[in-house]
Amino acid sequence: MALDMGMHDEAADADPLSASDQGNLARLERVGAGTAITGEIFGLVGKSQFFTEFSREDISALAGYMEVYRAQPGELIIREADAGDFMVLIVEGEIDILKKSHRGEQQHMTSAGPGMTLGEMSMIDGEPRFATCMASQPTTFAVLTRDNMAKIILDHPSLGSKILVKMVTMLSLRLRQTSARLLRYMEEPR
Amino acid sequence: MALDMGMHDEAADADPLSASDQGNLARLERVGAGTAITGEIFGLVGKSQFFTEFSREDISALAGYMEVYRAQPGELIIREADAGDFMVLIVEGEIDILKKSHRGEQQHMTSAGPGMTLGEMSMIDGEPRFATCMASQPTTFAVLTRDNMAKIILDHPSLGSKILVKMVTMLSLRLRQTSARLLRYMEEPR
């Protein structure tokens, strides 16, 4: 299910942690509400592209829609091909992004650290998870579900737009980087 | 300059066609205001991923912020490495996406047709144009500038969010496709 603007009112009371790939989260240590780590999120502001142009008020409001989890090295956060309905903001630690090759081997694509986001593609477009995300260090991260993103857009439209603009910015950056890598392969003599 | 939420009030009266790579547009045939082709845009609704979930009112409002241009085969719409501050919605025709290789040759990356969008990365993140876009057939397209996108977000927040969600969706799709192509290259024996 993709993010379907303005049709989420009746889902507003649904348990945000009952659906689809949130089963992976259910196996991890739940630290608490995002508001419990508003301080840590403020601490990320300087390091994170995600939060440039966010005011203190924006971050406090956003934290109110997030839940915080902790994963130990080797623990799975997102599994490739699962249905996906949340994104992750890394607060501390490191997460490996892995994808199965045609031969079934896990290929390491890249790693992500504090201030980076993961999983926003499936969170917005409702397509299956493209890659697996696994903690490579003790990692603390905040989770934003699709239902809560829809609530932010309805309840705080200006904050919602800021978050969406950031997602476009971060996806653009990744698409430029990935396209540049692809072009280098395409140019190499075979 | 990236899309800077809430700081565009003083720019609201600026000529939307005076800045950066809009010089390329100035050389093309200007058909008129987007409202002149609202009918054609409605006609795209069925074909275009971009407009699923947009109401008639949404499309009418969006058209009011767009300008329509026409390009003949071989005419340049966006030039790689230029500063960029608009996106393009293709109404009719076809546009080739080209990128310079390290050896300076134009490599054909892909083509785009009616209902597809181009240029939203630079429009939002303010980075230089990643690739060149050139009409390969007689092509009609609607242009949305960064300033007008900022106005939509301020004046019609719900429409602004819908457009941004669509951008995230389309960028996610392209990132999945590009990553999958990259992985196939990475897997091949060299």
Where residue A15 falls among pLDDT bands split at 50, 70, 90? very low
pTM, rounded to two decimals: 0.81
Helices (H), B55-156: 56-63, 120-125, 146-155
Rounded average pLDDT over A162-190: 87
A159 touches chain B (CB under 8 A): no
CATH topology of domain A16-187: Jelly Rolls (2.60.120)
State the pLDDT at residue B190: 59
- Contact assignment for A127 to B158 by CB distance below 8 Å: no
Q: Scan residues 113-142 of A and list those with Cβ closer than 8 Å to B.
A: 120-122, 124-125, 127, 130
- Contact assignment for B175 to A5 by CB distance below 8 Å: no
With a cut of 50, say whether residue A91 has pLDDT above it: yes
In the numeric block, which tokens belong to residue B138?
């007689």
C-alpha radius of gyration, chain B, whole number: 17
With a cut of 80, say whether residue A44 has pLDDT above it: no
- Calculate how close chain B gets to A104, using CA atoms only, in Å: 11
Q: Scan residues 170-189 of A and list those with Cβ closer than 8 Å to B.
A: 171-176, 178-179, 181-183, 185-188
Q: Scan residues 86-115 of A and list those with Cβ closer than 8 Å to B.
A: 99, 101-103, 107, 109
Q: Tell which of B5, B87, B154, B174 to mutate to test the A interface (max A CBs under 10 Å).
A: B5
Angle between helices A157-187 and B157-187 (to 10 degrees): 20
With a cut of 80, say whether residue A82 has pLDDT above it: yes
Where residue A9 falls among pLDDT bands split at 50, 70, 90? very low
Domain boundaries, given as residue ranges, for chain A: 16-187
- Contact assignment for B182 to A182 by CB distance below 8 Å: yes
With a cut of 50, say whether residue A57 has pLDDT above it: yes
Beta bridge partners of B133: B78, B97
State the pLDDT at residue B172: 92
Angle between helices B157-187 and B146-155 (to 10 degrees): 130
Task: Residue B39: count other Cβ atoms within 10 Å of its Cβ.
Answer: 9
With a cut of 80, say whether residue A71 has pLDDT above it: yes
Q: Measured between alpha carbons, how far is residue A149 from residues A51, A111, B167 in Å?
A: 16, 25, 16
Rounded average pLDDT over A130-147: 94
Looking at mean pLDDT, say which of A97-101, A103-107, B94-98 comes out highest: B94-98
CATH topology of domain B18-187: Jelly Rolls (2.60.120)
Contacts of B122 in chain A (CB under 8 A): 172
- Contact assignment for B168 to A167 by CB distance below 8 Å: yes
State the pLDDT at residue B187: 79
Q: Which residues of A134-163 are buried (b: 16+ CB within 10 A; e: fewer)?
A: bbbeebbbbbbbbbbbbbbbbebbebbbbb
- Calculate how close chain B gets to A131, using CA atoms only, in Å: 10
Per-residue pLDDT of chain B (190 residues; tens, 9 = 90+): 677 654 444 343 444 444 457 778 888 888 877 777 777 777 776 666 677 778 888 888 888 899 889 999 999 999 999 998 999 999 899 999 999 888 888 889 889 998 888 999 899 888 899 999 999 999 999 999 999 999 999 999 999 999 999 899 889 988 999 988 888 888 776 5
CA triple B143-B148-B151, angle to 5 deg: 155
